Structure 1
Amino acid sequence: MGILCDCQSNCKAPSPPQCGTTDSSWTKRRIGYYETWKAASDCDGFPPEKIPSQAFTHINVAFAEISADFKLTFNDLPLIGRIGRLKARSPALNIFISVGGWGFSDPGPTQTRWSDMASTSASRAVFIRSVMDFLELADFDGVDLDWEYPGADDRGGKPADFENYVSLLREMRMAFSIRNPGWGGSLTAIIATFLQDQED
């Protein structure tokens, strides 16, 4: 991907942004992803107890999946409990469950799962209800939706995904506001490679 420049002279790439040095620069979100498969890995294992939780405002626990009946699934509840105990040493820490990820949309049985789940209000409601049930069970603070990528046909997407994704986010926000207004939501917006390929 290149930078297009329409100027006639003195054309150069912009300087990268610099991190601030004042205390106010630390008031923004500092989000870390915790790869749960590293918890018990023999090679470069990283149990959740080693997470420097004081360095983050948010930890996104990667990854939960969406089942064939459109429910959030995460099968290692003991690990969830260990991650949740990070709040004992960092009470202001927010822990989110991250759903999806790149591999979830690889060719195979889950490739169209995001698109299928988001396609109807009934299937979205099932998913949202299961997310809320999980957040209560795990005592987590929110959910991160990592759909890679809405609308990308090579990743199981359909053109209707864009509108359906907005509906999913709207309906989830509404459901959260009723059941627990303190829950948060985020989405991981990754640019699909087919969009990058259109740049020169």
Structure 2
Amino acid sequence: MPSVFVQGKPVDSYPPLAPEARRGSVRRVTEVGEEVLHKPCRDVTEFGPDLAALIDDMFLTMYVAEGAGLAANQVGVDLRLFVYDCPDDDGVRHVGHMVNPVLEPLAPAGRRLLDEGEGCLSVPGAVIAVPRPDRAVVRGLDKDGRSLVIEGTGYFARCLEHETDHVNGHVYLDRLAKRERKDALRQVADRREEVFARRAARQQALAS
């Protein structure tokens, strides 16, 4: 089985960082509580160099922040778009972007809930168990407006579900009970500075 899928298609080899990142600039990652994260994003209607440049910036920002996925509203842009570079539970790497994503509803018989630790670049430092289906199918478009269907299992399914939540105006804290949410925010208070220091060091390392 191929070890890397780019935009859902198998490839023989792929660099450690997606080529988009080499063209991108780092943007500030928004944090929970900022309005742009808590309202549904607008559909992308214009496909062209501006969209491609945003995707480049999002890839680099995701790598600097050591994420597996990043939605446009996490860099302050209220558009339905996310990028990802994420392994599944079999160690297969999935890299790509998705414009105007829609998560397909799965029949209960075809899915299992996995209750595993989940983090978010906009909730810096917190990791909390969130139950999510172990399989996801997302339909949308690529940056050129072509139809795209991406299917994921395990950790990659979690990533697709998490990022689609973002473009719908939800952060994973919205899926938690009050006590777990308080625990997550306490983790942020404890670890935020450490997370930002690591991002700064990584940005410097990637720039050199």
User: Higher RCO, 1 or 2 (CA under 8 Å, sep at least 6)?
Assistant: 2
Q: Using structure 2 for the length normalisation, give the TM-score.
A: 0.24
Which has the higher Rg, Structure 1 or Structure 2?
A: 1
Instruction: Name whichever structure is richer in strand by fraction.
Output: 2
